[in-house]
Structure 1
Amino acid sequence: MEHTRHRPPRELTQPRELVVVCAPLRSNVNLSRIARAAGCCGVTRIIATGRPMKLDPEVARDAADTITLENRRSLEPVLKELRKEGYRLVGLEQTTNSHDIHHYNFPRRTALVIGNERTGLTDEELALLDEAIEIPVWGLPHSYNAATATCMALYEYCRQWPEG
């Protein structure tokens, strides 16, 4: 059997209706890792809140034609705006009422909300969500890195919506 590396990406039959929304992050590295995974998943829009963030130059070069990175001051107005646009606000956060990602069905039109690496999402931000999902952890520390968890959630969304 002969294998050829780097075959072309799969074609989406319709644009993804998934937006990645980040609470103020501490690290441009995490944002760059999120952007790289989002690009692989066919996501075209990332909204980063807080201080202006930049992508790693290599990631920025690769994503320049496919991903729009929007920088906004604060998360709450963004969430309210996305709700008006018809997005389901799904936070990636461990809460007392969060759903296990293994049993969660993503709505096609989803805004995936990512918390800060250390502090997660605030109580006020959590109150604006439609629901929260979490990724089970079987060891320590008690949660995955923000970028790693986002990659897992993006993959699960794409598994559920492979055509776009």
Structure 2
Amino acid sequence: MDSDFEHLRHKPPTALDQPRELIVACCPMRSNVNISRIVRAASCCAISKVIVCGNVKIDPKIARDGAENLPVSRHRSLAPVLRDLKKDGYMLVGLEQTTNSQDIHHFPFQRKTVLVIGNERQGITDDILVLLDATVEIPVYGMPYSYNAATATCMALYEFCRQFPEG
């Protein structure tokens, strides 16, 4: 083994040149675990903010540092918030399987995007779908026909970061 090799397990990340202008907006969810996993992943990806609706609680044991370092805003209804973000120049992209959804591997995200995450069982409701500029889906190769909401969000966050590695 090369004696000059040093393995750094937890090498600190380099600072982003500019903060990512991605916002994650979650429709009302049932699971505290899902929302906590989403907050943790969003923090790992240096996302600017997470918006949550409904009565879920973020579990600090699951979200870990994300619960402390990431701005999380709570709202009663998602539609008015999305309308305001759209006026501010954000592209609204739903993570949902729809007739016109695009494969996430071929979708060109814009730097200023709101990624809308649906409810675990019902997905994104019709009143929110009509507000979206686009929907993306992650290919599924077996049963069930969709990934868990938190898992799919992690995959979508990774794809956004792959397209914008410097922030």
Equivalent runs, 1:73-92 vs 2, <5 Å: 73-92=76-95
Which residue in 2 is equivalent to 1:145?
148
Instruction: Output the CA distance in 2 between the equivalents of 1:131 and 1:61.
Output: 31
Which residue in 2 is equivalent to 1:39?
43
Query: Partner letter of residue 92 of structure 2?
Result: L
Query: Partner letter of residue 123 of structure 1?
Result: D
Percent of pairs identical after alignment?
64
Write the deviation string for residues 92-150 of structure 1: whole angstroms up to 9, x where unpaired.
Answer: 00000000001001000000000000000111211100000000001000000000000
User: How far is 1:2 from its partner?
Assistant: 2.7
User: How far is 1:61 from its partner?
Assistant: 5.0
Write the deviation string for residues 41-74 of structure 1: whole angstroms up to 9, x where unpaired.
Answer: 00131000122x3211235551255201111001
Q: Report if the CA contact (8 A) 1:44-1:66 is conserved.
A: no
Instruction: Output the CA distance in 2 between the equivalents of 1:64 and 1:100.
Output: 30
Instruction: Output the CA distance in 2 between the equivalents of 1:59 and 1:8.
Output: 21
Which residue in 2 is equivalent to 1:62?
65
Query: Partner letter of residue 31 of structure 2?
Result: S
Query: Partner letter of residue 161 of structure 1?
Result: F
Instruction: Output the CA distance in 2 between the equivalents of 1:36 and 1:63.
Output: 5
Structure 1: 4+ residue segments shifted above 2 A: 58-61, 63-66
Which residue in 1 is equivalent to 2:32?
28
From 132, 136, 140, the equivalent of 2:135 is 132
Q: What TM-score, normalized to structure 1?
A: 0.95
Query: Partner letter of residue 134 of structure 1?
Result: E
Instruction: Output the CA distance in 1 between the equivalents of 2:117 and 2:75.
Output: 14
Instruction: Output the CA distance in 1 between the equivalents of 2:24 and 2:125.
Output: 17
Q: Which runs of 5+ in 2 are unaligned?
A: none
Query: Partner letter of residue 24 of structure 2?
Result: V
Q: What TM-score, normalized to structure 2?
A: 0.93
CA-atom RMSD, angstroms? 1.2
Q: Which runs of 5+ in 1 are unaligned?
A: none
Aligned length: 163
Return closer, same or farther for 1:104/1:72 CA change in 2, 3 Å cut-off: same
Instruction: Output the CA distance in 2 between the equivalents of 1:103 and 1:73.
Output: 33
